[in-house]
Structure 1
């Protein structure tokens, strides 16, 4: 193998896009037991408008897991699945509970329309009223409103309305903060009406499904900043709980490690931690279990890049530097491949991985509070914050470090923490 093969492999390495259930790069063994558990829980509770909060670090595999779940035959047999990502229809950096509830109502209708479910006249009228209300917010001049309505038809069919929602409304909502603020202002004053309208829409769709129950799989709800996440899931969690559907949200590890998480789950539903891939014991020693996990991660990376393009020790270092986070392992591999290509190499070496690790390390901007906390955890992996005040604020150094992956949490037989491996040598020199 040569440089061209390495370039082709590099171009296929995707850090941001989750794998689909049919992707041959997927290592199903990573998710098997947890998948069976979640499927069982969802089916057991399908009549209860069950809410699931799936927590884990960014990049641990939650999005890929949702893709696998949505394509599972048992899930498709029992549920009418509405899978979508908030980053496709909203702005993850600026999102609140109004955005989330509204998007779920509209995504349910879009999914029903695409699935050729017969929509009642009553539901069509409700959707049309929502469309008209959103248009009035988006377009200030009444003459422009009338012209726009004429273009898609004031009494337009559901297909035209769906097209407008997907191609016009959500695009504007993502990109235009003024539109978001105006829509939120309108619906926050009428939050009960928004929830009632959403539940009516869900009930109308549910009535056409016979034995199946609606299941939302909402991806990327772990992406908002901590402050927004607390506003959505804590301050307004009861509004989400009132939605008459089964829903799975993904939650960032920093939220799950906060003192507010117990309150969040009591308001919304059950929390389930995504399995940690432990590649080293708490005391830094090795074990057969950890070695097996490292081998599984190597096999996963081997599905993305041929063994002929990377030295064995370099592959091992990439895995160890990832902390067991799948996306971090792929990211290190991609940066190492880039360094190898730039250096006119043909096979990734340990020095290329070292360069990738250094590049990631230099992306962190840490103050002394952050450094002191990380060093405490490095000395004592079972370290815990002294008081709730340290883990309830969006400004908490502890939660910030978890949110940006400078600090990693492991929930196996016991709960412990470890600084991101890319930072450890630097911390030891501090």
Structure 2
């Protein structure tokens, strides 16, 4: 079978998320649940469909940025839609400033996305009196012209106001100062005028319910907002109960740092209803003892080869490795050094493709890996080495501070096996001469 270069290049783009609802993209999906410690999508789905079909649920989902959460959430969306749910999926980072987010921002972004989806896919147009009055007040106190005709749909009103304030940080701060004290009334209005009406309209049309999947909230900046509180802690712990009170099924992505917070139990109780967040770990290219994980490596090979041959079955793809790489050892080299991080692996392949057409040579791969390793080393500060060496020895991460230093910077990855959670160093970093020297002194 001939490798078609243009579709292959497009499929390798690491910024592209697979949409399982699209029949053309569905073949690119690889199911890693067998090596990730469980079927995360099925768990989220069962909670909505089986355990609480008629009552709102709030579920939390986390993992490394770039590990494949968005792909899994889009798979959840497709599965729920097959069961006749109306599912609203949106990337919050497109509507919100991840460095300066408030509770009212998140609530209004959800209301806008739900309203947008109902208008575009179900023909349901919502007129919300509370928000009509609120928009008029906003126009007045902002003292800036906003084109908003009377009786405009909710989504249009929110879009016009947020677009105007995005252009001007001063206006944005004024808007936030005005809306935050009204969070409770905004929440009630969303439940009564948006979600309540939406649920009634949808059920009248035979739908089983409304599900809102709020992606990319894990990208909220971990900046301090008080001497003792980061922005994610303030939003999801201090104000989490408000996020959990929307009258529909909710799935939120949250920063992985919160799993290591001293107030993790408070997070579970206030936002997760006492249920622990579901965490999507890395794909194990190797086991705890450093030896290859055969099943993990096999699936990582397929992650790359399916981009080249989506219409073939897995065994047939293996027979065509020579169309993509100069040897089986070269594809394995890429898989191992990625540490099982999906976006990193695709990013390494994409960088190779920017330098040469397939079959990709081992020399090209080694050059790309070397540059990747040097980029990681540039970000490392001397005091962080001690933490890395401790994690390598103990395979554990303790506390939020260590997480921020190690996991968010991708110096360390998280995995899951039958023994539980464990942590390993980024393989590209482990190969560096600097690490080897420090490890010899540390382990002596």
Aligned residue in 2 for 1:125: 129
Aligned residue in 2 for 1:186: 178
Offset at residue 68 of structure 1 (A): 1.3
The residue matched to 2:83 in structure 1 has which SS? helix
Q: Is the 8 A contact 1:6 1:337 kept in 2?
A: no
Offset at residue 118 of structure 1 (A): 4.3
Aligned residue in 2 for 1:337: 353
The residue matched to 1:248 in structure 2 has which SS? strand
The residue matched to 1:363 in structure 2 has which SS? helix
Offset at residue 131 of structure 1 (A): 3.3
The residue matched to 1:324 in structure 2 has which SS? coil
Q: Is the 8 A contact 2:77 2:89 kept in 1?
A: yes
Point out the more displaced range, 27-36 or 198-207: 27-36
Structure 2 gaps of 5+ residues are 223-229, 310-320, 439-444
Matches of 1:423 and 1:66, distance apart in 2: 30
Matches of 1:404 and 1:186, distance apart in 2: 36
Structure 1 residues 136 and 424, CA gap change in structure 2 (3 angstroms): farther
Matches of 1:416 and 1:190, distance apart in 2: 43
Q: Is the 8 A contact 2:92 2:215 kept in 1?
A: yes
The residue matched to 2:201 in structure 1 has which SS? coil
Q: Please give the residue correspondences for 1:14-413 in structure 2 after superposition, counting only pairs within 5 Å.
A: 14-21=13-20, 22=22, 23-30=25-32, 33-43=39-49, 44-72=51-79, 74-119=80-125, 123-136=127-140, 139-141=142-144, 144=145, 148-149=147-148, 153=149, 155-158=150-153, 162-163=155-156, 165-166=158-159, 168-174=160-166, 176-200=168-192, 201-210=194-203, 212-226=208-222, 227-269=230-272, 270=275, 271-286=277-292, 290-305=293-308, 307=321, 308-311=323-326, 312-338=328-354, 340-341=355-356, 347-364=359-376, 365-381=379-395, 383-385=396-398, 391-392=399-400, 396-413=401-418
The residue matched to 1:37 in structure 2 has which SS? helix
Q: Is the 8 A contact 1:86 1:221 kept in 2?
A: yes
Offset at residue 303 of structure 1 (A): 1.8
The residue matched to 2:246 in structure 1 has which SS? coil
Matches of 1:359 and 1:187, distance apart in 2: 46
Offset at residue 370 of structure 1 (A): 1.3
Structure 1 residues 99 and 379, CA gap change in structure 2 (3 angstroms): same
Structure 1 residues 92 and 305, CA gap change in structure 2 (3 angstroms): farther
TM-score when normalising by structure 1? 0.84
Offset at residue 213 of structure 1 (A): 2.1
Higher relative contact order (CA 8 A, sep 6+): 1
Q: Is the 8 A contact 2:412 2:424 kept in 1?
A: yes
Matches of 1:128 and 1:76, distance apart in 2: 35
TM-score when normalising by structure 2? 0.81
Structure 1 residues 40 and 104, CA gap change in structure 2 (3 angstroms): same
Q: 1:1-57: CA deviations, max 9, x gaps?
A: 99x966774455211221111304522433584332321122122333211111111
Matches of 1:173 and 1:315, distance apart in 2: 48
The residue matched to 2:350 in structure 1 has which SS? helix
Aligned length: 398
Structure 1 gaps of 5+ residues are 386-390
